[in-house]
Amino acid sequence: MTIREKDETNERRRLFLKQAGIAGSIALGAGYLSLAPEDWPLSLRDPDGERGKPKEELLHLPQGGYAVEPNATAAQLAIARGTRVDAMLRGAVDALGGIGRFVKRGDIVLLKPNVAFERAAPLGATTDPETLKALIHLVRSAGAKEIRVADNPIESPESCFIRSGVQRAALEAGARIYLPRPSDFRMLNVAGAKWIEKWPFFWRPFIGVDKVIGIAPVKDHNLCHASMTTKNWYGLLGGRRNQFHQDIHGIITDLALMMRPTLVILDGNRVLFRSGPTGGSLSDVRPGKTIAASTDSLALDAFGWDDLLRRKGKERPHYLELAGAKKLGQPDWKSLRTKEIQIG
C-alpha cells in the first residue's frame, strides 16, 4: 500500500469515527430528552399528554376597563323617581353629565341586561324590557354605530330572551342580540382574582366594543342576599359557574375586579323583594318606580339595598365590604355627590 493510500484510509477512518461520535451524541441526547424527568431542562417527557397540548391564549379586557374620565362637577350617583321609564332613565343619566359623556359618535356599545331566567317581565327576575328599550334609544341618540345586547343565562338562552321580553325589546329598538354558543367563549385572565383568574368568558360580543353598560334589576337573592349591578356580570362567565356558590361574595368581588364598565343602571322600576333570584309570583314583586345610575356599581348596589329593597340598617351583603376594601368602588353611597330628581 502506498503512502497516499494509507493516508486516504486513515482519513476515512477518522471521518467514520467522527460521524459515529456525532451519531452517538445525538442518540444519547435524544435518550436524555425522552427519559429525563419532566421538570428537568429540555425534557420531552409528557406522561399525561398535557405538555403536548397547544397552549391556550389568555385574553385581557382593556387596561382600565371601559370607564370614561371622571367629571368633577356632575353627580356621581343619580336617582330618578317617577312612572315614565324613558324620562327617569334620561333624567338619571343627565344628572351624571348626559349620555354624551359616556357614548361618542361611532362607538360600538355593549349592553348587559340580566336575562338569567325564563320568567315574564312582571315577575321581576330579569331586566325590564321597557327600561332596556329606553336605554337603547338613549345610546343611539348619542350616535352609537352599533348597539349589542348580550347575556349568558342560567336557563335556556333562547327561552330566557324570548319569555323575558328582552329579545323583542332589543330588536324593536334596533340592537343586535348575542346568544351564547360554545365557540363564543375564550379564556380570560383577571389578574388578582380569587376564582376567575383564568376563566371562560363570553368574548364574542366584546370584539371591537368601545363602551360597556350594565343594566340590572333589583332582586332578593337566597345566597348573596341581593342581586344588582355587580352580580349582573356573572352572566358573562362560562364554565361550571355553580361551583362559585360556595363563596358567592368572593366571586362577586372578583366580578367587580373583572369589569370596569362605562356606566351602570339600576332598574328599580319594579323590585323582586323576596323569593329571589328566580321569583315566580307577582306577590314577591312591588313597584319601585325608580331608576338609578352611576359609574360605581358598589355605590349603586348599596343604594339599592338601603332604599329599594328597604333593608337599611340590616347587615349588608359581604361583597360590598370585600370589594370596597379592594378600592373597587364606594359602598358608602351617601358620601358621593348624589342627585335625586322627581319625574312627573
What pLDDT, on the 0 to 100 scale, is given for residue 102?
98
pLDDT for 194 equals 96
Alpha carbon distance 93, 97 (integer Å): 7
Q: Along the 344 residues of the chain, how does pLDDT read in single tens digits? A: 555 555 555 666 666 556 655 555 555 555 555 555 655 665 555 555 555 555 668 999 998 999 999 999 999 999 999 999 999 999 999 999 999 999 999 999 999 999 999 999 999 999 999 999 999 999 999 999 999 999 999 999 999 999 999 999 999 999 999 999 999 999 999 999 999 999 999 999 999 999 999 999 999 999 999 999 999 999 999 999 989 999 999 999 999 999 999 999 999 999 999 999 999 999 999 999 999 999 999 999 999 999 999 999 999 999 999 999 999 999 999 999 999 999 97
Spatial separation of the C-alpha atoms in residues 165 and 157, rounded to whole Å:
12
pLDDT score at 25: 54
What pLDDT shows up at residue 239? 95
CB half-sphere exposure, 50, CA atoms < 13 A: 3
User: Residue 74's closest CA among 54, 53, 93?
Assistant: 93
Residue type, 235: G
For residue 212 the three cell numbers come to 360597556
Q: For 261, which DSSP code?
A: -
Q: Which DSSP state fits 182?
A: G
Q: Report the candidate in 34, 65, 27, 66 with the shortest Cα–Cα distance to residue 51.
A: 34
- For residue 235, give Cα distances in angstroms to 52, 252, 309, 337: 33, 11, 22, 30
* pTM of structure: 0.84
Cβ contact 218:304 at 8 Å: yes
- Alpha-helical runs (H) found in 242-341: 248-258, 297-303, 318-325
